[in-house]
Each structure stands twice: as C-alpha cells, then as structure tokens.
Chains A and B, each alone.
Chain A
Amino acid sequence: MRAPRTLVLAMLASVGIGCASASGPAPDATDATQATESAEAPNPDPWRGFNRAMFTVNDSLDRWLLGPVARGWIFVTPETVRVHIEQFFDNLNFPGYFVQPLLQGDPKQSGVALARFGVNTTVGLAGFFDPANHYLGLSRRPEDMGQTFGVWGSGPGPFLVLPVVLPASNVRDASGFPVDSVLNIGDSQVISYVVPGLWPVTLLRTINRRALVDRDLRELRAGSLDWYSAVRDGYLQRREVLIRNDLDGGQETRSDDLYDLDEEPDPE
C-alpha cells in the first residue's frame, strides 16, 4: 500500500507548521488536526512556552534535589510511618474539607469532614491514625477552592505552572490558591511565611509526601513519551474527577472519538 500524494503533502505541511506553531498558533488550514482541534475546544495551554520553562525548573528541582532527599527519607523510615505523617497533615486540612462542600451545596459532606476531624483528632491521636475510615467507613475526600469553582461551573482555564508553588495547575485552581493557603492548613506553605518557626514542619511534609509517591512518579515519568504534556493532561483529568467526586465522571470530558476511530475511506 502506498501513501496517497495528498497524505504525504499534508504530512510535510504539518511538519513545517509544527515548527512554526512553537512561536504562535498556525492559522493554516492545511494542518487538519490543529484546525479541527481548535474548532472543537479552546487550546488548553496557550502559555505553553512559559509553562514548559517553569516545568523544566520544577522537574529539575525534583530530579536533583527533592527526589534524592525523599529517597533518603524512605531509607530511614518505614512506609507506615510515612503514611501516618501524611494523615496527620491531611487532618489539618479540615477547615477546607469542611467549608468547601458547604459552598458546593453539599452540607452532608461537611458533616462527614466534621465527624472525620472529631474522631481522628481524638481517637486517631491528633490525626496520625484514621479510625474514621477504618471503623466508621467515613473515607477521606479532599476539597479545595478550585473544586468549588468547578462545581459552580467554571472551566479549567489555561494551564499554568509556577516555580515551586504550583507544579501543575490552571487559572481556575490557582485563583483558589489564596483561600486554600488559609483553609487547607495541612497543605499550606504560606503559613510558614507568617510563622517562620513552621518551616521545618513544612519541609518535612513536602519531603514525606514526595517520598510516598516516589515510585509512582518515577514509573510514570519513565513510561511517558513527553513528560510535560503527560502531567498536563493527567492533572486536567484528575481535577475533573475530583470536581465531580465521581471516578466515572472524568469520561464525560473525554472527546467523543476517544474510543471510536472514524473509519472514513481514503480519498482515493
């Protein structure tokens, strides 16, 4: 089977446009893929150049600094200890986990968050243990301002990466960052600026959390073809699931043709 001439032409054209589009969107209609994509949905990453640069900074920091430190931490602690430390910090996110569902019109979930906090802070020894989940079946559900904006109908907006503070985000979720910094205390870095004595604690949390995902992170990185866009898409998909609070919800945002190839005949 030989390639039809139009196909070869389209291919050559797209290679040229591929280079051109690094500096700006290609208005040329010969690049069918790009044309249809922009017609279907707005470009999720209009600030690609900036984001990629920031992503490289963060990724290098992770590879050469945070990752090795986290593996040192893994070497000196058993996994259960790391899990309990993470649970302690997660328990401190209670204000956010309580307030956001209220804003989302889901007071029942606020009740769950309240019960979890009450039980885990007392019986769970300051949150290091999670009896609320183990014995009462009240499972953890992280909430933040960006999710509430999503529930209110906000789309994700452009993808956004900032050094250190936002390894992967978008305009919607970044807008919630100031509120999250106050409410989701366990996740907050900002609190250390207010109370500098907390920096060692913040650092410990960062290292501990990175240690918990070390294996997954490196496997995903090794299995990816383009790490940046893998993270960008993974973030978008994951946030959609969190906003809908439904693991099946993500599929509604996937393009219709994801599982079905339009078997149109060759133009020959």
Chain B
Amino acid sequence: MTIYTISMKSLIRSSAFALALLLLASAWPARADERIASGRAFMTTTVNDVLAILNDKQLKGEPRLKKLESIALERFDFPRMALLVLGKNRKELTPEQLEQFKVEFKQSLSNTYGRRIDGYTANEKIEMGEARLEPNKDVTVKTRVVGGAAGDGVQIDYRLREVEGGGWLIIDVIPAGVSLIQNFRSQVQEIVTQKGVSRLIETLREKNQQPADPATAAK
C-alpha cells in the first residue's frame, strides 16, 4: 500500500515534471523566434533609416556624411566593440589608455562606416535577409547590397547584442564572411606585440587626424 502511494506520488511528480519540460520546450522556440524577430526588426529600421538618407536628393556632401555617421553612432555599441577588438590585450592598457582607445576607436569606425555607406550609388539596394540566434543569444541578421558592380551583390551580416533594459545594438559587421571585429583584433594584436600599447593609441589618433583620401571622400 505504502509502495503504491509512493509510486503514485512519484508518478504525479514525474508527470508534473514532464509537463513542465513540455511547456518549457514549447515556450523556448517561441521565445527564440521572438528574439530573432525583434533583432531583425531593429536591423530593418536601421536599414530604412540609412536608405532614407541615401534617397534624399537634397542631402549632399558633408551634411549627408554627418547624418550617416550619426546613425552609426546610435546603432553601434562602440564601447563594447572596442573591448572585443582589444580582446586579451585590454589588460595591457591602463584605465586612461582604455578610455582613450575607446574614444579614438569610436571616431575611426564611425568615420569609416559613414564614408563606406556614403559611397553607395542610387542603383544599389539593401535587401533584408534571414536572421539567426547565436549560442550566446546574440542575433545575426543578414543583409545583401545588390545592384553594384558585383553580379550577385555582397552579403553583409550584422551581429546584434541585446542592451540591458531591452533593445539592440550592432557589435560586429561581417561583409562577405569577414568579421570586422576579428580583423581589427588581428591588427591590434600585431601592433601591440610588435610596437607596444602606446603605439596602438597613437596610430588610431593619427588615423583620425588625417583628412579623408580626396578620391574616396564624399563627392
């Protein structure tokens, strides 16, 4: 009799457990889908904002470039990107150097990004692609720039990280499968091991003070 009750109890318990598992399992994909959709929505808005600027015929030259840069400043998580780019090397920097690096890196990247997008011509279009959930819960959204010289266009992936309190920010740009963060990390590693940390910050500063190459600057 006692055995029966125990097994009955455990039966209820285990079935409750199974039910909970089942609920979790069915809830998980929904939450994952939601996450993917929300990341993708963020990227769609960003792309639309960029396209609005590119299609505005009245906007030209410096003001247009500044507007594109300001989108980059809003939608990229520059402080985090700076840390990711430093990787383990960030421990080699003093807190002051780290702050300097963040400031200079932010300026350098928003300039580069602004110039890059500014170079798009009117017949180039940005298409939104699929999005996927990464193991660490980041969301990667695919986009494709079509209509340029390359026949099939160029795939550009954006990796997004959720911000505390909701919302998303871009933490990596991956054109044609080449991660910007990985690429900058290699460069930082090279400069730090070959020339030292102080040279790293100097290099960034010099880059930022240089005027844009007249041939690639906004026309």
State the A residues within 8 Å of B (CB).
1-3, 7-8, 10-11, 14-15, 17-19, 21-22, 32-34, 36-37, 71, 79, 82-83, 87, 130, 133, 139-140, 212, 215, 218-219, 222-226, 228-230, 232-234, 237-238, 240-241, 247-251, 254-255, 257-261
Q: Are A230 and B186 in contact (CB under 8 A)?
A: yes
Chain A residues contacting B212 (CB-CB under 8 Å) are 222
Q: Cα distance A212–B150 when bound, in Å?
A: 9
Instruction: Using known A-B contacts A222-B216, A225-B204, A238-B176, determine if residue A259 contacts B83 with beta carbons closer than 8 Å.
Output: no
Report B177-193 CB contacts with A as 1/0, cut-off 8 Å: 11101111111111111
- Are A233 and B112 in touch, CB under 8 angstroms? no
Assess whether B69 is interfacial by the CB under 8 Å rule. Answer: no
Query: CB distance A230 to B182 under 8 Å?
Result: no
Write the residues of chain B forming the contact surface with A, with a CB cutoff of 8 angstroms. Answer: 83-84, 87-95, 108, 112, 115-116, 119, 134, 136, 138, 149, 151-152, 155, 157, 159, 161, 171-172, 174, 176-179, 181-198, 200, 203-204, 207, 210, 212-213, 215-216
CA distance A255 to B212 in the complex (A): 33
Q: Can you report 23 residue pairs joining A to B where beta carbons are below 8 Å apart?
A: A7-B92, A10-B91, A15-B196, A15-B198, A18-B193, A19-B196, A36-B88, A82-B149, A133-B152, A139-B152, A218-B213, A222-B112, A225-B207, A226-B191, A230-B183, A237-B177, A237-B179, A238-B176, A241-B177, A247-B155, A247-B177, A248-B177, A258-B179
Could you say which residues of chain B place their CB within 8 Å of the CB of A10? 91-92
B151 near A18: Cβ-Cβ < 8 Å: no
The secondary structure that dominates the A interface is: helix
